[in-house]
DNA sequence: CCCGAGGCTGGAAGCGCTTCCAGTACCTAC
DNA sequence: GTAGGTACTGGAAGCGCTTCCAGCCTCGGG
């Protein structure tokens, strides 16, 4: 490699020698552990400064059996799932919490076969101290792998099936119910749902919440119009919805992207929003505010989701046994409903 | 920790013993290096399967002096910069390329002081094989740190000041010029720029491109109306622009977020787009398509940016000396101009 | 004045893997 | 029958750090 400075990195031995102490003492001083006299501690500090010494992460990891790394795995069948700004928010939250515990964040997009295989290896190779798992689909092979992992695993959003031992999730059912109730309370009587992928728990739970609310109001639920959480899929779902049931006057979209897509289709179809059709989204990401009209939506605390996942993982790494968390949602009313 | 299986992970020694070979042979077999007879190679493979052996990443890293990790550092003064979907696309691109080289991606948000300090440590602690640096501002302390790093560094987007040795950038000047020329070619004569932060090279370069084009057309450039690449900042910049120079009939926004913000302000001010004011953005992210009207914009190949950064880094790690790259942009015409 | 209790100290044994090198065994060519 | 390969093999020395532990010194109390 085109390196210029052939300057070798200094080692703890050199620090110890320069400070006139043994390596053990130098090590203890560095980690400010007890059993080091004030004088030697200072001598070591001086030597560290003079040499510009920085401990070798790898060597330390080998000796302590701790990598100082937490992995965030985003599953899905296609890397573009990660383009959803949702994940960026999760990362901001997680990153902050990990920073406090001095852990680094490793990001794994387990979208390709290759990617999934590498995650599997990671989970078994002690390459991280723990893992956060997100966006798992039904029968995702990672679920099994996680059970056999050599490290703690926290789920972000429950997968379909039996709830894992440690997870942080959002109250999807409650949020969807609230959104739908709101539509009903504004006099809408033909309320449909554009739901997310039904092979994800979030997709199902939000449809369930919608359905509960519609039934509770004594109305007839629409069948699910399924999208994949992207804007075009929302537009397409809205189009078939409009074709099947032109009388629709309210739409609950399972996320803002699809809500924005629905808005676009409605605009193109000449339907006024909220005049003819009221629309509610889910997430409260930037797109909800940018949409025209701005989208009434269910805000979920996405950064908090990331933060709590990280905190839960940290607790596990520290040998504690935290309890699963369900984060609340809140309806944010804007112009679209 | 609440672990159930006290099953210790098996080591290479155990594999070797079970296979009836020495540890050296087992190691060679594992890495399919030469000098292992067919018979022993198979014996080792069998033992690996029986034990469910997976090599310890850390130990391997210590022995080989390679971590198998590439870091992506996103600078900025506030973690929310990462919320820009731009970075998600970079990550998708980089992740794919790293996957091919079997490197893991470590993501560092160097936004807080703490975060920056950790990045500095990372760069000096041999915690990764190389680093990709993005979103540096003027006089960002990371620039210096990078120069002294113990590993290869690739810049994503040049920082302000002398160009680094290895970088991948997008032709910001050319893209901005093309956008502005397009506005002029549509008959706009009072064309302004809502520019990004002028303490970033991208912000400056795009303003430069705008200015060049306006001057070349024999028109008067507007002073920069500065935003910070977010939607609200674009809306605010548009508002002051409108207040200062109500005669404006064309706007080049330095990214789509700000373009969307401008659109919102114009709508609220009752100006028709593109009738009264034409708007062009930059990036071509989802928001450009969602905006109303859909935003004419300069598409930059963001995933390719990530991919090429990763490839360049891989080349460096492999001891090659790649050359910097400038990626082209392309105008995408939609309804807003 | 002696003894035990602390407080420090540094030698040494790892952590689990790679890799150099000195062999050993077995052939082929002379 | 011997020299000189070729093809493996495994012992041993690391990689740079943490940590156990036996030993030393010092000091106060009896």
pLDDT confidence tier of residue A300, bands split at 50, 70 and 90: very high
Angle in degrees, 0-180, between the axes of helices B23-30 and B38-51, rounded to the nearest 10: 90
DSSP-derived letter for residue B109 is E
Residues of B in contact with A79 (CB under 8 A): 92, 95-96
Angle in degrees, 0-180, between the axes of helices B172-185 and B201-216, rounded to the nearest 10: 40
Q: Find, among A144, A130, A163, the residue nearest to B1 by Cα.
A: A130
Q: Which domains does chain A have, with CATH numbers?
A: 12-55 (1.10.260.40), 69-170+303-326 (3.40.50.2300), 172-299 (3.40.50.2300)
Residues of A in contact with B320 (CB under 8 A): 1
Q: Check if the beta carbon of residue A198 is closer than 8 Å to that of residue A226.
A: yes
Distance from CA of B107 to the nearest CA of A (A): 6
Residue B319, classed as helix, strand or coil, is coil
Give the 3-state secondary structure of chain A.
CCCCCCCCCCCHHHHHHHHCCCHHHHHHHHCCCCCCCHHHHHHHHHHHHHHCCCCCHHHHHHHHCCCCEEEEEECCCCHHHHHCHHHHHHHHHHHHHHHHCCCEEEEEECCCHHHHHHHHHHHHCCCCCEEEEECCCCCCHHHHHHHCCCCCEEEECCCCCCCCCCEEEECHHHHHHHHHHHHHHCCCCCEEEEECCCCCHHHHHHHHHHHHHHHHCCCCCCCCEECCCCHHHHHHHHHHHHHHCCCCCEEEECCHHHHHHHHHHHHHCCCCCCCCCEEEEEECCHHHHHCCCCCEEEECCHHHHHHHHHHHHHHHHCCCCCCCEEECCEEECCCCC
Contact at CB, A287 and B290, closer than 8 angstroms: yes
Residues facing residue B290 across a β-bridge: none
Tens digits of residue pLDDT in A28-84: 999 988 889 999 999 999 999 999 999 999 999 999 999 999 999 999 888 889 999
Q: Across the interface, which of B89, B231, B319 has its CB nearest the CB of A1?
A: B319
Q: What's chain A's average pLDDT?
A: 94
Contact at CB, A106 and B287, closer than 8 angstroms: no
Q: Across the interface, which of A88, A127, A150 has its CB nearest the CB of B87?
A: A88
Please give the interface size between A and B, counted as residue pairs whose CB atoms are below 8 Å apart: 173
Residues of B in contact with A126 (CB under 8 A): 9, 54, 56-58
How many angstroms separate the CA of B35 from the C1' of C28? 20
Backbone angles phi, psi at B242, to 5 degrees: -65, -35
Residues of A in contact with B122 (CB under 8 A): 57, 104
Question: Sign of the C-alpha dihedral, residues B183, A286, B112, B127?
Answer: negative
Residue of B70, B83, B320 to mutate for A, most A C-beta atoms under 10 A:
B83
pLDDT confidence tier of residue A256, bands split at 50, 70 and 90: very high
Distance from CA of A116 to the nearest CA of B (A): 11
> Position of tokens 């290096």?
B33
Whether residue A5 is predicted with pLDDT greater than 60 in this model: the reply is: no
Distance from CA of B141 to the nearest CA of A (A): 17
User: Residue B327: what pLDDT?
Assistant: 98
How many angstroms separate the CA of B51 from the C1' of D5? 38
Tens of pLDDT along chain B (337 residues)? 333 344 568 999 999 999 999 999 999 999 988 889 999 999 999 999 999 999 999 999 999 999 999 999 999 888 889 999 999 999 999 999 999 999 999 999 998 889 999 999 999 999 999 999 999 999 899 999 898 888 999 999 999 999 999 999 999 999 999 999 999 999 999 999 999 999 999 999 999 999 999 999 999 999 999 999 999 999 999 999 999 999 999 999 999 999 999 999 999 999 999 999 999 999 999 999 999 899 999 999 999 999 999 999 999 999 999 999 999 999 999 999 9
Distance from CA of A205 to the nearest CA of B (A): 26
Q: What is the DSSP string of B155-168?
A: EESPPSSSPPSSEE
Please tell me whether any atom of strand C lies within 7 Å of the Cβ of B57: no
How many angstroms separate the CA of B25 from the C1' of D3? 29
User: Residue A147: what pLDDT?
Assistant: 87
Whether residue A1 is predicted with pLDDT greater than 60 in this model: the reply is: no
User: Residue A207: what pLDDT?
Assistant: 98
Using the CA of B13, give the nucleotide whose C1' is nearest. C16
User: Residue A89: what pLDDT?
Assistant: 97
Contact at CB, A286 and B95, closer than 8 angstroms: no
Q: Name the closest residue on chain A to residue B3, using Cα atoms.
A: A152
User: Residue B7: what pLDDT?
Assistant: 56
User: Residue A6: what pLDDT?
Assistant: 40
Tens digits of residue pLDDT in B87-125: 999 999 999 999 999 999 999 999 888 999 999 999 999
User: Residue A136: what pLDDT?
Assistant: 92
Collect all residues with Cβ–Cβ distance below 8 Å to A154 and sequence separation of at least 6.
A130, A131, A132, A133, A166, A167, A168, A309, A312, A313, A316
Nucleotides of C under 7 A from a protein CB: 7-12, 14-20
**In this structure, what token pair is assigned to residue B322?**
């790649």
Whether residue A4 is predicted with pLDDT greater than 70 in this model: the reply is: no
pLDDT confidence tier of residue A7, bands split at 50, 70 and 90: low
d(CA A163, CA A169): 11
């Amino acid at each position: 490699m085109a390196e210029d400075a052939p300057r070798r990195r200094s080692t703890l031995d050199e620090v110890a020698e320069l400070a006139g102490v043994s390596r053990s003492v130098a090590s203890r001083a560095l980690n400010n552990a007890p059993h080091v006299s004030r004088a030697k501690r200072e001598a070591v500090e001086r030597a560290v400064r003079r040499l510009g010494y920085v401990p070798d992460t790898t060597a330390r990891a080998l000796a302590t059996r701790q990598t100082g790394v937490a992995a965030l795995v985003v599953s899905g069948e296609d890397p573009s799932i990660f383009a959803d700004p949702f994940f960026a928010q999760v990362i901001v939250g997680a990153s902050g919490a990990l920073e406090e515990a001095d852990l680094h964040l490793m990001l794994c997009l387990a979208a390709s076969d290759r990617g999934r295989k590498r995650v599997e290896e990671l989970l078994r190779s002690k390459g991280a101290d723990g893992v956060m798992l997100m966006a798992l689909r039904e029968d995702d092979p990672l679920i099994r792998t996680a059970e056999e992992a050599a490290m703690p695993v926290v789920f972000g959003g429950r997968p379909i099936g039996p709830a894992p031992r440690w997870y942080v999730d959002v109250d999807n059912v409650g949020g969807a119910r609230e959104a739908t109730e709101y539509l009903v309370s504004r006099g809408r009587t033909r309320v449909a749902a554009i739901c997310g992928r039904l092979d994800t728990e979030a997709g199902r739970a939000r449809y369930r919440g919608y359905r509960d609310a519609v039934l509770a109001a004594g109305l007839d639920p629409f069948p699910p119009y399924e999208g994949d959480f992207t804007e075009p899929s929302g537009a397409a779902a809205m189009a078939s919805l409009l074709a099947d049931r032109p009388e629709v006057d309210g739409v609950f979209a399972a996320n803002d992207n699809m809500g924005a897509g629905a808005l676009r289709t409605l605009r193109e179809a000449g339907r006024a929003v909220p005049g003819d059709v009221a629309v509610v989204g889910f997430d409260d990401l930037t797109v909800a505010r940018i949409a025209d009209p701005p989208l009434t939506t269910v805000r979920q605390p996405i950064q908090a989701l990331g933060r709590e996942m990280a905190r839960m993982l940290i607790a596990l790494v520290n040998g504690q046994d935290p309890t699963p968390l369900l984060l609340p949602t809140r309806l944010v009313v804007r112009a679209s409903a």
